[in-house]
Amino acid sequence: MSVKSLRQTVQGLLPSLTPVRFVAEDGTPVAKPPAEYGEPPVEALLTAWRRMVLGRRFDTQATALTKQGRLAVYPSSRGQEACQIGAVLALRPDDWLFPTYRDSVALVTRGIDPVEVLTLLRGDWHCGYDPAATRTAPQCTPLATQVLHATGMAESLRRKGEDGVAMALVGDGATSEGDFHEALNFAAVFRAPVVFFVQNNQYAISVPLARQTAAPALAYKGIGYGVRSEQVDGNDLVAVLSVLTAAVEHARAGHGPVLVEAHTYRMDAHTNADDATRYREEDEVDQWRSADPLARLETYLRSRGALTDEDVAALREEAEELAARVRAGMNADSVLDPLELFDHVYADPTPQLREQRAQLAAELAESAQAQED
């Protein structure tokens, strides 16, 4: 490869020097929008705004349910709505999504029943929805393991001649895991149609980004593997949707994987069991609150005449109806069958599992008979 060709190859992998942005923190358009990306149509932005309002109401309702003992734990994504909604809207229904434990809003946006989304966090099932039917993998708690799964799924789609794409959602902490780097390397070598979307919310639980990496941005981690990379203002929905749409189409066209880093912030604690005041200052949180992705998009749409007070009021009512449905669903006691423990271990149960299932069934029947007597 000539020096000129090498330089062009490297330039094609490099992310923008600063995060891609269309809308400033105060909701006004930036003076110089990025020339390499197009702004999504206003209809798409209105859809995204609606999803963000509903997503935030869902998130605050789920947080409240933990305080009522209805959920064992809930990792809030307040402040990261632009990332989660932008990710889902950039995909087709037949594409695959591989979420983390913090991506419940993305699942609701994907069209999955909110009560089914919360089944994992309630402790009823490992996954409350059908991954095959929804093209959405189970929410992943171990860091970065779903990145390998997403890469494998993307490669299988490629080998079968399908034009589907897989998108893996990860946090900044996952980029410090070996699985993340193995997935990038495999995806690049085989040109798997996968998008790695890093929601850099500045903290891996309590570990700040500066203690994880000395790289100028996490987006640069893709270059060493030959992965096209980009960074975006994760609180600017317009930019997130534009960049991710381009990344998905890049992968779908057979040009290989893309790594996108979104600079965002987790406004609430890591989970309801975390005390974020022990490792970050309130002034920092307040600064990021001023860049709230929901307020930013609403202001922008109002300035374009695409949004009215009546629209906002109507959607707030819809959001409250959603919250009421979530409360009603979570207030209903679950009907659990202990024998379901054996239903999804193997497609064809082993003789040992059949024996154990029969033994448990006999014990349950004996217990039920004793209660009747």
> Could you give the CA distance from residue 168 to residue 196 in angstroms, rounded to a whole number?
5
* Cβ count near 20 (within 10 Å): 24
Is there a contact between 95 and 165 (Cβ–Cβ < 8 Å)? yes
pLDDT band at 1 (very low <50, low <70, confident <90, very high): low
Angle between helices 145-159 and 178-190 (to 10 degrees): 10
For residues 112-134, b (16+ Cβ closer than 10 Å) or e, as one string?
bbbbbbbbbbbeeeeebbeeeeb
Q: What are the DSSP calls for 127-143, one per residue?
A: -SS-HHHHTBPPPB-ST
For residue 6, is pLDDT > 80?
no
- Helix H segments across the chain? 3-13, 42-67, 81-89, 104-109, 114-117, 119-122, 131-134, 145-159, 178-190, 237-252, 282-289, 293-303, 309-331, 351-372
Task: Give 311-321 pLDDT, tens digit per residue.
Answer: 999 999 999 99
Instruction: Give the pLDDT confidence of 55-76 residue by residue, as tens digits.
Output: 999 999 999 999 998 999 999 9
Is the pLDDT reported for residue 140 higher than 70? yes
Catalytic pick among 7, 279, 304, 344: 279
CB count, 10 Å around CB of 56? 21
Work out the pLDDT band at 45, boundaries 50, 70, 90.
very high
**CA gap 331, 334 in Å, rounded:** 9
Cα separation, 12 vs 7, in Å, equals: 9
* Residue 233 amino acid letter: D
Report whether pLDDT(345) > 80.
yes
- Whether 3 has a pLDDT exceeding 80, the answer reads no
Give the largest Cα separation in the chain, rounded.
87
C-alpha to C-alpha distance for 144 and 367, rounded to whole angstroms: 43
More confident residue, 232 or 332: 232
The answer to whether 279 is a known catalytic residue is: yes
Residue 7 pLDDT greater than 80, yes or no:
no
Name the amino acid, one letter, at 115. V
**DSSP string covering 191-206, please?**
T--EEEEEEE-SEETT
| Average pLDDT across the chain, whole number | 94
Of the candidates 149, 250, 270, 296, the residue annotated as catalytic is: 270
- What's residue 368's pLDDT? 86
Please name the amino acid found at residue 152. Answer: G
Q: What is the pTM of this model?
A: 0.93
Average pLDDT over residues 259-282: 93
Determine the angle formed by the axes of helices 42-67 and 81-89, rounding to 10 degrees: 130
Nearest Cα neighbor of 222 from 171, 256, 250 is 256
Instruction: Give the DSSP letter of residue 29.
Output: B
Coil, helix or strand at residue 336: coil
Tokens coding 174:
């996952």
Strand, helix or coil at 67? helix
Q: What is the CA radius of gyration of the chain?
A: 22
Per-residue model confidence as pLDDT tens digits over 106-135: 999 999 999 999 999 998 888 999 999 999
Q: Which amino acid is at 85?
A: I
Annotated catalytic residue, options 21, 70, 135, 266: 266
Q: Stretch 197-219: mean pLDDT, rounded?
A: 94
